[in-house]
Amino acid sequence: MSSTSDSGLSRRQALRLLGGSALAVPLVLAGCGDDSGSGPSASSTQPVELSFFWWGGQARADLTDKALALYTQKHPNVTFKKTWQGNQGYFDKLATLTAGGDAPDIFQIDDNYLTEYASRSVTLDLTPYQKSGKLDTSKFPESLWKYGLVDGKLAGLSFGENTQGLVFNKTLLQSHSLPEPKTGQSWEDHIAWAANVTQVTGTPGTMDPSGSYQAFWVWLRQRGKELYNGKQLGFDESDVTGWFELWKGARDRKATPTADVIHEGNATDITKQLVATGKAGTSWVWVNQMPELKKATKNELGVVAFPGDTKGQWARASMYFSVYRGSKSKDVAVDVINFLANDAAAGAILGTERGLPSNLDIRASVANSTTDQAMKQSISVENDLGKLFGQPPAVPLKGHSKVRTELVKAAENCQFGRATPAASAAAFVTACKAAISA
Amino acid sequence: MNVKSVARTSALVVLLVIVLYPLVWMVGTSFKPQDEIMSTVSAIPKSFTPGNYPDGWTHLDVNFGRFFLNSTLVAGLVIIGNMLSCLLAAFAFARLRFPLRGLWFGLMIGTLLLPSHVLIVPQFILFKTFGWVGGPFPYTPLVLPHFLAIDAFFVFLMVQFIRGIPRELDEAAKIDGCSPYGVFRHVILPLSRPALVTTAIFSFIWTWNDFFRQLVYLSDLSKYTVPVALTQFFDSTGSNALGPMFAMSVLSLLPVFLFFLAFQRLLVQGINTSGLKG
Amino acid sequence: MTLTRTSPVAASQPEAATRRGKPKRREATAGYVFLTPWLLGLFGITAIPMLISLYLSFTNYDILTPLSEVKWIGLANYRNMFTADPSYWHAVLVTLKFALIATPLKLAAALGVALLLNRERRGTGLFRALFYLPSLLGGSVALAIVWANIFNRAGAFNAVLAIFGIPGRGWATSPEWALETLMVLGIWQFGAPMVIFLAGLKQVPTELYEAAAVDGAGPIRQFFKITLPMLSPVIFFNLVLETIHGFQGFTAAFVVSNGTGGPVDSTLMYTLYLYIRGFGNYEMGYASAMAWVFLIAVGLITVVLFATGRFWVHYSDEDER
């Protein structure tokens, strides 16, 4: 297929030469992320500067600063170059830095992208450190640290636990003497409850979660399926059709808002969630997002598990800390994240801002000392649920972010009445298969 | 005051109200407390919260004024770079004949066409190779290219403006013995004020609002520019400071607006070429 | 140095004939001297990343794998784009729709308001600045919230419609109308071409109007015989650039759809889709292929614009084109 000119250079080769010469210098630099040497050991006194990148708000930054300062106190030779921002553009920047061979030594990451980075060998394999005890996960719930495994290797240290949480508008319900949703209610009961709320209060009872991958995932697990099974999808078309039909029924009964309002709630943005903007009685989020939702509304909020068997839920790592494979001070970096996760003083500083502390001892002491009511509530809900969790799934596959957006698209096609549940389901499954096999 | 001017003024006012309403909404929202912002629709806050402004100013470890200064520095440098290098190139394209001119002009327009998102990563790698990334003056990748006429938009803009300047003036200067450099200095440069002012205005605004590239190249809080600093108020997965964010967004409109107000006066005076004759 | 208006043709001809070689060479050299910064910029800064992205369009580059390890996959990206990706053609349609409707409207608004503002009287400067304000807003989170709020079901736009008895709906949140709200956002920021029009209007020599008035031409005749022709280089500029920008429209789509192109891809502009494939799905090779197809397509349109411009754009240096 490549034509060979008289000079013997095929078109493909010529193009490659062109591209190659343009790339020559940058290539030298970009090929710098290799395993050569792990740098100074954690106990050396050589001056080391680690770059640390995370997303969050000012509150998280203040706490992280303090915790890192504590580490520097104990290891005066280690200083930090800290960079943080809101999560808009965070992963774009992280990817760009990585491309330039400039990824931070330690960076925060979540289960949406862990596999993307780990499967391309950007993250350091932490398994050796875990085995030698330098990275201590002994006090972590087993399912929690296992949620950081990609292809059998530990790609990130789970930092903060959360689980699915159905947040509801307490004030609205109380003012109309309506019952609150309860953990363990069935999906049908929940929809009936919501339809009643709509009728009595005028506010739609529940947000339609058919586009929410976390709701769909729980529902699948309650049926013995999974979102992903090994390297394949863990569900088929009939599952998706059933899910979409369930919510079509709910919409028909006016248990949910209209499609355009649902669309607002489909945004991943916390500030747009309908329970906070007052456009629905509930939102389907993560338990530890409740305090933030509370700030956005004058109403009282409550939180319970998603409907159905609570075994469908699991201890999810709200985020991880990973170390860059090309870091020049790997051992020190691992020591730092070990410190943040397991040191009692650091744990007390960081609190529950990133989710429930992974280390159970720290979790117990922190839960007692927090004064934020909303935080206390989400902790106790998570703890209660923790006794009822099922086995955790594997961390999502490469292509997961595409699966998420396709689900929203398919659900919205259904919600706006542009396609039947079956047709949307078929399109969704086809798109997912393409996404994870690419 | 005749009918025509009343009609004209009324049309302008109506248009203005429509056009400015979103901004009015923004200003009103900047005075709302956090629990009102996403849940109310009116532009008028129920509980007036001027505290958003001092909150926003001191919200981050570095006060917001620093970010204004940084943005002004970057924008200022970009303006100078653009005005200088683009005018030079535009003069060549518009007034001088040289071999391959058509080819270079075509390439210049071509550089406008490639969507910038695919250039971010290769450019980052390139600038890293040059050693421009990070360091004590991290603004280099954001600023230096503009001294090399990288913004084809302004080159093309100035080409069009220069072509609007009557050639007779060039000819007259040449008769008097001017070299091309002389023509540039004595004919084109003085008459390029509208083009230069327009370039300055747009350079300022685009640099002031350029989020993504500034995000990628700046990692040190004290060096952040306004758009990057604003992202620190808003984390869609977790904590937000919506009120202060709106307050600082409104505040950050001020310098750009004032800059525009000041410079647009220079657009006001027309060029009267008859002054150059005789 | 004074510029005297002697008759150039008669005086210079004999001299030019003898000195033709030298001035021409001097001009060519001067051309390259003036062009040097741009040439440096082109080869040093613009060309290399562009060539790299061209190379990447033939690979499966995913940003995270080092450049030295990307796999060449030939025309696979291009093939998939044209034959196996319905979202691609959908994005093309959305972009065409946006560019063909929003661009002319934006230019019309810009020209109209510029003409209204061209008379200098007290307060015009302030008016000008106020009309320009919307263009000062970048693609910020704040703007996204503002727009969503005004155009959602309970927002101000519906309140206004209610005055006229028209029932409202969620505009930015429904697939039928989301693209239109995007167009409104694009047109709303007409301040930029407006300023360029104003600058161009200022450059029209006033003595032309004076001469026409002496000849008895009224304002409408003056508009068509003087303003439009003298403004045509600037109109052409705005037309070309706004067309290019219209096709490239990213910020408005990103803002209105929160980066998703939703609801149901109704606001999936080409460059937004490119961004989603490149940075969202880590398929930068595919995104690069999309970018180069875009360059060629919009380049062709631009060539057509330049070719037709020959017929209606009037330059003061008429011997050039």
What is the identity of the amino acid at C306? F
Query: Cβ of A17 under 8 Å from any chain B Cβ?
Result: no
Q: Which residues of C touch A396 (CB under 8 A)?
A: none
Q: Which residues of C touch B150 (CB under 8 A)?
A: 41, 45-46
Query: Cβ of A402 under 8 Å from any chain C Cβ?
Result: yes
pLDDT of residue C277: 93
Contact yes or no for A100 and B228 at CB 8 A: no
Please indicate, yes or no, whether residues A308 and A341 belong to a single structural domain of this protein. Answer: no
| Inside any domain, residue A17 | no
Nearest CA distance, B158 vs chain C (angstrom): 10
Give the residue-averaged pLDDT of C58-81.
92
- Please state which of the four CATH numbers 3.40.640.10, 2.70.98.40, 1.10.3720.10, 1.10.150.20 is assigned to the domain occupying C85-312: 1.10.3720.10
Q: Tell me: the pLDDT tens digits for A285-323?
A: 998 888 888 888 889 999 899 999 988 998 899 999 999
pLDDT of residue C9: 45
Q: Which residue has the tokens 């640290």?
A: A145
Q: Residues for chain C: how many in total?
A: 321
How many domains does chain A fold into?
2
Residue A34 confidence (pLDDT) above 60: no
Please indicate, yes or no, whether residues A346 and A410 belong to a single structural domain of this protein. Answer: no
Please indicate, yes or no, whether residues A410 and A279 belong to a single structural domain of this protein. Answer: yes
Please state whether A370 falls in left (phi above 0), alpha (psi between -120 and 50) or beta: beta
pLDDT of residue B268: 55
Please indicate, yes or no, whether residues A117 and A238 belong to a single structural domain of this protein. Answer: no
Torsion over CA: B66, B69, B71, B73 (sign)? negative
CATH of residue A96's domain is 3.40.190.10
Please indicate, yes or no, whether residues A303 and A337 belong to a single structural domain of this protein. Answer: no
Contact yes or no for B26 and C142 at CB 8 A: yes
Q: Tell me: the pLDDT tens digits for B219-253?
A: 988 999 999 998 888 887 777 888 888 898 889 88
Rg of chain A over all Cα atoms, to the nearest angstrom = 24
- In chain C, domain spans: 85-312
| Inside any domain, residue A40 | no
A345 confidence band (pLDDT: 50, 70, 90): very high
pLDDT of residue A67: 95
Contact yes or no for B237 and A59 at CB 8 A: no
Phi first, then psi: what are they for A158, rounded to 5°?
-60, 125
| Inside any domain, residue B117 | yes
Torsion angle (degrees, nearest 10) of CA A356, A362, A363, A364:
-170
C270 confidence band (pLDDT: 50, 70, 90): very high
Nearest 5°: the CA angle C234, C236, C239 is: 110
Q: Among A193-202, A245-254, A361-370, C296-305, name the one with the lowest average pLDDT.
A: A361-370
Give the residue-averaged pLDDT of A142-147.
89
Closest CA to A148 of A287, A304, A341, A339: A341
Closest CA to A357 of A388, A409, A304, A321: A321
C227 confidence band (pLDDT: 50, 70, 90): confident
pLDDT of residue C230: 85
Query: Cβ of B169 under 8 Å from any chain C Cβ?
Result: yes
Of C55, C74, C262, the CB nearest to A412: C262
The helix/strand/coil state of C121 is: coil
Q: Tell me: the pLDDT tens digits for B147-194?
A: 999 999 999 989 988 887 888 888 888 888 888 888 898 888 888 888
pLDDT of residue A15: 45
pLDDT of residue A385: 82
**CA of A272: how far to CAs of A62, A276, A295, C269, in Å?**
25, 7, 12, 23
Q: Which residues of B touch C316 (CB under 8 A)?
A: 163-167
Q: Give which of B218, B219, B220, B228 to mutate to test A binding, by max A Cβ within 10 Å.
A: B219
Please indicate, yes or no, whether residues A368 and A227 belong to a single structural domain of this protein. Answer: no
Residues of the domain holding A404? 164-313+399-437
Closest CA to A152 of A115, A182, A116, A177: A115
How many domains does chain B fold into?
1
pLDDT of residue C109: 92
Distance CA C36, CA B89 (A): 8
Residue of C nearest to A1 (CA): C74
Q: Which residues of B touch C208 (CB under 8 A)?
A: none
pLDDT of residue C2: 40
| Inside any domain, residue B1 | no
The contacts of residue B68 (CB under 8 Å, 6+ apart) are B226, B252, B255
Q: Tell me: the pLDDT tens digits for A96-130?
A: 999 999 899 999 999 999 999 999 999 999 999 99
pLDDT of residue C316: 67
Give the residue-averaged pLDDT of C31-41.
93
Q: Tell me: the pLDDT tens digits for B20-54?
A: 888 888 899 899 988 888 777 788 888 888 998 99
Distance CA A352, CA C262 (A): 34
pLDDT of residue A19: 45
Give the residue-averaged pLDDT of C66-89.
92
Percent with pLDDT over 90 in chain B: 33
| Inside any domain, residue B190 | yes
Please indicate, yes or no, whether residues A405 and A342 belong to a single structural domain of this protein. Answer: no
Q: Rounded mean pLDDT of chain A? A: 87
pLDDT of residue C276: 94
Residue C207 confidence (pLDDT) above 90: no
Q: Which residue has the tokens 């001092």?
A: B54
Nearest 5°: the CA angle C219, C225, C230 is: 110
Report strand pairing: A48-55 vs A78-85: parallel
pLDDT of residue A88: 85
Strands (E) located in A103-188: 106-109, 149-150, 153-154, 157-158, 161-162, 164-169
Which partners does chain B have (≥3 C-beta pairs < 8 Å)? A, C
User: Which one has a higher pLDDT value, C145 or A221?
Assistant: A221
| Residue C253 contacts residue C97 (beta carbons within 8 Å) | no
| Inside any domain, residue B30 | no
Contact yes or no for A99 and B216 at CB 8 A: no
State the pTM of this model: 0.88
| Inside any domain, residue B35 | no
Contact yes or no for B180 and C26 at CB 8 A: yes
| Inside any domain, residue B28 | no
Count CB atoms within 10 A of the CB of residue A202: 9
Residues of the domain holding B162? 67-268
Please indicate, yes or no, whether residues A206 and A289 belong to a single structural domain of this protein. Answer: yes
CATH of residue B97's domain is 1.10.3720.10
Percent with pLDDT over 70 in chain C: 90
Q: Among A155-164, B95-104, C128-137, name the one with the lowest average pLDDT.
A: C128-137
| Inside any domain, residue A83 | yes
Closest CA to B228 of B217, B243, B238: B217
| Inside any domain, residue A3 | no
Please indicate, yes or no, whether residues A177 and A294 belong to a single structural domain of this protein. Answer: yes
| Inside any domain, residue B56 | no
Closest CA to C283 of C111, C43, C87, C1: C87
Please indicate, yes or no, whether residues A361 and A274 belong to a single structural domain of this protein. Answer: no
Query: How big is the A-C interface in CB pairs under 8 Å?
Result: 114
Q: Which residues of C touch A435 (CB under 8 A)?
A: 281
| Inside any domain, residue A21 | no
Query: Cβ of A101 under 8 Å from any chain B Cβ?
Result: yes
Contact yes or no for C203 and B246 at CB 8 A: no
A390 confidence band (pLDDT: 50, 70, 90): confident
Which residues on neighbouring strands pair with residue A282, listed in sequence order? A168
Q: Which residues of C touch B19 (CB under 8 A)?
A: 130-131, 133-134, 188
Tokens of A141: 């719930």
The helix/strand/coil state of A85 is: strand
Q: Which residues of A touch C52 (CB under 8 A)?
A: 19, 22-23, 26
Cis peptide before A209 (omega within 30 of 0): no
